[in-house]
Amino acid sequence: MRADVQDAVNRVDQQRLWRRLTEMAGIGAIPGGGVNRAAFSKEDIAARKLLVSWARARNFTVAVDAIGNLFIRRAGTDPRAAPVMTGSHMDSQPRGGRFDGIYGVLAGLEAIEAIEQAGVKTRRPLELVAWSNEEGGRFAPCTMGSAVYTGARRLTEFLEVTDNDGVALEDALARTLAALPAAEQRALKAPAAAYIEAHIEQGPLLEREGRTIGVVTGIQGLRWFNVEIFGETAHAGTTPLAARKDALREAIAAIGALHELTRDASDTLRFTIGRVLVTPNSPNSVPSHVMFSVDVRHPVAATIARLGEAIEPAVRKAVTHCSVKVTPTLRDDPCAFDPAVVDCVERAAQSLKLAHRRMPSGASHDAMYLARVCPTGMIFVPCERGISHNEAENARPGDLAAGARVLTAALLELAGQNRDS
Ligand code: HGY
Ligand code: MN
Ligand code: MN
């Protein structure tokens, strides 16, 4: 490894990274050691302000785009060159962990800061991005910020999406943008030369095999839907069952049919109904409306495509006394990362003598969308027993720092040191 790259890698500070992760974990902290930091919430705003304060302390510049993606830039020698990007997300699940997303943001800051401290000049600018609303827990669907940034989705599609309290995304986003310290405006679809995201694995493989680094090869495909069942509310005591249009009873039948549809002896397919909203939600009124979410995933393109097409027919067949509306909200085919970036990550892990392996990602990430517009890759580090989207999510400081060191070396290779290009 070149001396200047080694110098930057050596300046990755495990204590500084752990200290920042701990400080961020205090924003939206919940019992059990987790966080609840919903997109565009006051906790999200607080996390954005804290990140910007660390960036400004290093004289990095700060920009924001129309959906609130936050760009922190370290200048390169060629200001016109498209940046090499890294990043992840700061929003969390309602009962999220202290590492999902935020680790990739802070590992990216750590890498860029170590490069700055080493004084390594790069031709391309380096940019850290905190993507808006990756989780989709408050405003569905997930990976909204990166989807809009890359042009895969239009911001106008999402402005009227509401959370469980009826707050529109447009209003929450406006408050978030207004609260941000003065940041320059960044156009959507701004060019990127490459993107690498560091993330906890959110699975048990690395820990089970005693490896420190996952060289991620791609992400499985996924489809999200909102299914609505429309019935009639009625008196629980006087209305005969035969005369009811019971939206919840029919939703349960539809959910049973979907579980049949997604039965998989190999346990490769992933099927989740995570949200069910019932109206009027009263013990003695027959439910008149149910909305439930569908999240289905599979690594094989033809399989996830077939499943995506089968959801609505299966629901309609199961529902007999109510009307149905099925709204697709996310359609992501499996993505394979750029071989050159995968190789670059693998070389960095090898040169740092870290036990590593190539592996796919079961979880989706913003890298899913960046892969459509620039050479993209990911770096995984182990998390305890593979637990994630749970307060008990945990990771070891040494593994987190190792991931940041691999990221530092890989970014420098992709950004091109001055002498190389
Ligand atoms: O749902 C996912 O895979 C990601 O954690 N948002
Ligand atoms: Mn994540
Ligand atoms: Mn997540």
Would you write out the chain's pLDDT as a tens digit for each of its 421 residues?
Answer: 899 999 999 999 999 999 999 999 999 999 999 999 999 999 999 999 999 999 999 999 999 999 999 999 999 999 999 999 999 999 999 999 999 999 999 999 999 999 999 999 999 999 999 999 999 999 999 999 999 999 999 999 999 999 999 999 999 999 999 998 778 999 999 999 999 999 999 999 999 999 999 999 999 999 999 999 999 999 999 999 999 999 999 999 999 999 999 999 999 999 999 999 999 999 999 999 999 999 999 999 999 999 999 999 999 999 999 999 999 999 999 999 999 999 999 999 999 999 999 999 999 999 999 999 999 999 999 999 999 999 999 999 999 999 999 999 999 999 985 444 4
Task: Please indicate whether residue 134, judged by its CB atom, sits closer than 6 Å to ligand 1.
Answer: yes
Which ligand minimizes its atom distance to the CA of 143? 1
C-alpha closest to that of 226 among 260, 251, 250: 251
By alpha-carbon position, which residue is closest to atom 4 of ligand 1? 364
Inter-residue contact 240 to 268 (CB < 8 Å): no
Q: How far apart are CA 194 and CA 101, in angstroms?
A: 19
> Cis link prior to 283 (omega < 30° from 0)?
no
Q: Are 72 and 113 in contact (CB under 8 A)?
A: no
Q: For ligand 1, is residue 388 a contact (CB within 6 Å)?
A: no
Beta strand 376-381 pairing with 194-200: parallel
How many whole angstroms separate alpha carbon 372 and alpha carbon 376? 8
pTM above 0.85, yes or no: yes
d(CA 71, CA 336): 25
Q: What is the pLDDT of residue 417?
A: 53
Q: Where does the chain hold its CATH 3.30.70.360 domain(s)?
A: 221-332
Non-local (6+) Cβ contacts of 156 within 8 A are none
CATH annotation of 3-219+334-418: 3.40.630.10
| Closest-CA residue to 180 (of 288, 78, 40) | 40
Q: Which residue ranges does the chain devote to CATH 3.40.630.10? A: 3-219+334-418
Can you tell me which atom of ligand 1 is nearest the CA of 101?
Answer: 5
Q: Which of the listed CATH numbers 3.60.40.10, 3.90.1480.20, 3.30.70.360, 3.30.460.80 matches domain 221-332?
A: 3.30.70.360
Question: Residue 124 corresponds to which tokens in the numbers above?
Answer: 């391309």
Does the C-beta of 197 come closer than 6 Å to ligand 1?
A: no
Structure tokens at 240: 């005969």
Cα 181 to Cα 59, 132, 178, 239: the distances in Å are 14, 16, 8, 58
Which residue's alpha carbon is nearest to atom 6 within ligand 1? 135
Q: What is the pLDDT of residue 421?
A: 40
Atom of ligand 1 nearest to the CA of 297: 3
- Cα dist from 364 to 80, 124, 201, whole Å: 31, 28, 11
Atom of ligand 1 nearest to the CA of 295: 1
